[in-house]
Amino acid sequence: MIKNLLFLLSIVLFLFSCEVEGPMGPQGTAGQNGQNGKDGQDGNANVVSEVFTINTSDWVEHGTFGSITHYYDVTLIISEITNDIFQSGSVIAYLKSSSDTYIALPYTFTDIGYYTTYSFGYQVGKLIIEIQDSDFMTLRPDSQITAKIVIVESTNP
């Protein structure tokens, strides 16, 4: 019984010994500034983006209609594609769709009985976009096409 009474007494003392917190004390003095960390590696902001309008008359036909060698291409002259870009940078090509969305190349879409592939390649100073149908009966595009070309310089030579 004495143990139970001591236990209850210690709980009562514990509960009543807590105080309500008083007002906040004054602001302490500021500590010393720490050392600056190492600078990180700089990023690469050397990105160029150009938009081109390709007219239907710009497309050049190659090969014989109906043969495996039949396709159309267009060459865009882009002076920003330098030897450095060609060797270690990157070039990305997009075509604008009828729904006002840029689609990355290469891109293939299907039609009834065949599919059409848009692809590209580049050399120093130029980019070539090609169109070829799977049935080798590629037709010249019948409307203007907008192309966006993005050129990314490498930070590594």
Q: Please check whether residue 5 lies inside any domain of the structure.
A: no
d(CA 91, CA 89): 7
| pTM, to two decimals | 0.69
109 to 23, 117, 137, 146, 147: CA distances (angstroms): 72, 7, 15, 17, 17
Q: Please check whether residue 73 lies inside any domain of the structure.
A: yes
Domain span at residue 124 reads: 58-152
d(CA 50, CA 76): 11
pLDDT value for 73: 97
d(CA 46, CA 84): 12
DSSP 48-96: EEEEEEE-GGG-EEES-TTSTT-EEEEEEE-TT--HHHHHH-EEEEEEE
Which residue from 124, 131, 123 is spatially nearest to 147, judged by alpha carbons?
131
The continuous run of DSSP H or E covering 29 comes out as: none
Mean pLDDT for back-to-back runs of 10 residues, the chain (157 residues): 51 53 81 79 78 97 93 96 94 93 95 92 97 93 95 83
Q: Please check whether residue 51 lies inside any domain of the structure.
A: no
Q: Please check whether residue 26 lies inside any domain of the structure.
A: no
Q: Please check whether residue 14 lies inside any domain of the structure.
A: no
d(CA 56, CA 140): 7
Q: Please check whether residue 124 lies inside any domain of the structure.
A: yes
The one-letter code for the residue type at 115 is Y
* Number of domains making up the chain: 1
Q: Please check whether residue 15 lies inside any domain of the structure.
A: no
Q: Please check whether residue 3 lies inside any domain of the structure.
A: no
pLDDT value for 49: 94
pLDDT value for 112: 87
